[in-house]
Amino acid sequence: MRPHLCSFESRRASEMQTLIERHGADAFVAPSMQEVPIAENPEALAAIQQIIDGHVSSMILLTGVGTEAMLNVADSAGLRQQLRNAMKQMSLLVRGPKPGAALKRMDLNPTVKAPEPNTWRELVAAIDSAGIKLDGQAVAVQEYGITNPELNEALRQRGASPLSVPVYRWAMPDDVKPLQQAVRRTISRDFDALLFTSAQQVRHLLEMAARDGIRDEFLNATEQTCVASIGPTCSAALNDAGLNVTTEASPPKMGPLVRATVEHLKQESGSHEH
């Protein structure tokens, strides 16, 4: 029997479906979120103005989408070139390859790049190793959907003042029916594995289960289901939410996630047969 995998990927849903099927499994993809740019964004514009005015020594860029969105916010006020000029003079601290690629498109180079698995912890360790001075400095943090209190706390411990640049937030998808189905089908034990590629997917899935009054039933059902995570940040969110991670991708990418999940299920079915 082909294993049945449920994924909550949104932006790359069709790619995930193809990956799962290529690995000999059946796929059910329930998009769990959408990125909504903050249209009227006085907070981000005020932060951008502070950056342009030279009040900020370093900038932390957490996502590629967020880096592009920040430039679009600046663009909307005619400040794109001024922001880029200011960024040229600053330490640019990036969490992973995507914000690095966004900088490259602007002809800017990161000062520090976090190594895999590209969580905020690796970024802070890389900043420490590079000897970047944060004490007494304002550090702009490009946020992605939600504030990261642990990162902000780590910056404060090093004497820095974090300055949030919120550029987009996460919202439920326009069509929540697939997500509702995924919750109910998990309870019915329809899936061999649940695949998570971001911490926000976990929050939205549990929010949907709670809306339908079946959060506890859902959490109980996940104990009998393989819970697969793309990497440490996602695993931490799953564990915090009460879902026990069965397998984690390494490196933290979609291909290794699907491969690790299918291999785990094969081993499990093999051990049940003996």
| pLDDT score at 274 | 46
Phi, psi of 119 (to 5 degrees): -95, 175
Query: Six-digit token pair at 110?
Result: 């990161």
Distance, in Å, from the CA atom of 148 to the CA atom of 199, rounded to the nearest integer, reads 12
List the one residue out of 157, 199, 242 whose CA is nearest residue 62.
199
Asked if CATH classification 3.40.50.10860 holds for the domain at 4-33+172-273, the reply, yes or no, is no
At CA 153, angle to CA 68 and CA 55, rounded to 5?
55
Q: Where in the chain is the domain with CATH 3.40.50.10090?
A: 4-33+172-273, 36-169
Phi, psi of 251 (to 5 degrees): -70, 165
Radius of gyration of the chain (CA): 20
DSSP per position, 39-66? SS-HHHHHHHHHHHTT--SEEEE--HHH
Give residue 24's identity as a one-letter amino acid code: G
| pLDDT score at 156 | 97
Burial of 181 (0-12, 13-18, 19+ CB in 10 A): middle
| pLDDT score at 39 | 64
Query: Six-digit token pair at 77?
Result: 């006020």
| pLDDT score at 152 | 95
pLDDT in tens, the chain (274 residues): 899 999 999 999 999 999 999 999 999 999 999 988 776 778 899 999 999 999 999 999 998 988 998 998 899 899 999 999 999 999 999 998 999 999 999 999 999 999 988 889 999 999 999 999 999 999 999 987 778 889 999 999 999 999 999 887 788 999 999 999 999 999 999 999 999 999 899 999 999 999 999 999 999 999 999 999 999 889 989 999 999 999 999 999 999 999 999 999 999 887 665 4
Distance, in Å, from the CA atom of 267 to the CA atom of 254, rounded to the nearest integer, reads 20
Dihedral of alpha carbons 260, 264, 270, 274, sign: positive
List of long-range contacts for 70-75, beta carbons under 8 Å, 24+ apart: 70/44, 70/142, 70/165, 70/167, 71/106, 72/37, 72/167, 73/38, 73/41, 73/44, 73/45, 73/48, 73/167, 74/45, 74/48
Rounded to whole angstroms, what are the CA distances from 202 to 112, 143, 207, 249? 29, 18, 9, 16
Architecture of domain 36-169: 3-Layer(aba) Sandwich (3.40)
